[in-house]
Structure 1
Amino acid sequence: MVFYPKPISKIALLVVLAGSAFAIRMSPASFTARNIPVGERFDLSVPLVIHVDKNAEGSVVFLANPLLPSEVRENWLEGYEEIPDPAYLIVGGERPIVAKPDSAATRRLLVDFPGDSSLMNRRFLVQLRIMPEDAGGMFRTVLVGSYLLETVSTENRFTRPGGLPIAVAPSVLKLDEDGNGIIRVYNNDSKAHDVSAYISVPVEENKLSVELTRGNIPGDPKHFELDRNSASVGPGEFIDISISMPNIEYRESLKRNTEVLLWVKDPAVEKSARFVRVNYLP
């Protein structure tokens, strides 16, 4: 698994309980975990840390609840689906979660996707709500983390992923030595979709965003070509899209693993965007 924190590493909140005011902090506020297997419980290798400052009058008991993104917001990061079941995210360790003044409670974060091949090649968002047990009815005494979970990619495009309305496979494509590769776009819906495809690289932002794989450098989209930029995909059908790097001089100039994102979406349908990490290894 590749894990890399997002730029937003902590969130904090001022809490008033039993007449005392104190701050609580939670980390990580967000992260991306990649190459997560399905069919086994998997440690995400990043601890959940909840810190209580010295102004608290006593120990604070916390509740930790994974949530669907739609329980928190109407829209979320493009390219990621709502996790089918928030219970796939597991906060390990003993209950209750208790932190003393000027100290922190630490728990492991794990994920347990069922052993279903339709969950491969997928990217999910799950939210984690942290709140003091005695904070009921008070205003904004809640911290919410946003975690991006990318399941393992298949080696080819022939395993049909789930997800509506469309899906892509593989979710990580390694171009051959000549800079060529093929992805498959599946229509899992009961109606046709007119999809568009394009190449981009992420823009670094100090907020939840799509990021390149750690260690890779962004490619130049103008040196990547698609054999089609739009197509109509019938219900239950699929199409293939070929990607190439025809400029030999550009390929030979690359000294490190290079990555671009191949996006596919139906512009008329919200939350339909999917992307493939396209890698070229010189």
Structure 2
Amino acid sequence: MFQFVCGCVVVLGLSSGLWAVDLPYGSDTLPYLATRATLVATAAAVRPLPVKEPLPSGARINAYGVQLQREPVLKGTVPDAREVTVVVPLALDFGNAEETRLQKGQTLFLAEYTDNDGLATIGAPGTQPAYLLVSGRYGVVDLQKSDFKQQRVAEYVRNLSGQAEARLDAARTQWCLSTLTEGDDFLKRSAVFELDRFSQEPQAIQILARALESTNTSVAIKRDAINVLRTSEQESAVAPLKSLAENGQQPLVLRKHAVDSLGAVPGGLTILQEWSRGNDRVLAPAAVRSFQKWEKVKAAPPN
């Protein structure tokens, strides 16, 4: 299981006194954003706030005064205050171009912000509720131009997120299938990370296999799907990885990634051995490297 693990520090959306800007793998997906947000609402108006920089800790932030719409609210309760303060670490803020700034109509994933040092530097009323934008600019989703995206995000945040003991039931399965079929890359990536939570269930492997076969799935999303199969520890992951690696119509980078990933799943080393003895210009050398690597990994004593 690789969800939200990349060797980076997981900080944003949690204690707002922590200011590392490295984000964990998957921090731009719904499973991460919806879990860490305490309030998910839409901006009705936005204005920049002055900030005395840097903070005593040396961190640098930007801040916005945001009026939030009362409806729809996907999670939490909008405060009674006319405006809330939204804090963004400078390195994770938006660019200077007008089209990339925090704007009216965007849906914000927010977590409570309680850093007194940070609040003291912001030119906003001290009693004004303050929030941290989860994952910085990645915690902003524009739902105005797509009813499908609006529906899928609302369904996930309201009905599917935050269920630690959930199973890959019919509703969750249908959500993943529909987003992988019709969604944009944000939704598709979110679906892959949701399936990672259930990667030991056969249905999850089957859905990921379909995504790998689809011509409507980008290279980046397919790479994420391969990563889930790689860490699933399921023998059933061998078939979709093998099929992709052997498919000459797939991008070379994905074929090689699938070959390398085979060594991580039960039964995969046998396939690598077979390919390493063959003459395929892609599979043979990649299989030799992967087999040697995984042999060393599996022979190494546990830490």
TM-score (norm 1): 0.31
- Structure with the greater relative contact order (CA < 8 A, sep ≥ 6): 1 or 2? 1
Point out the structure with the larger helix share.
2
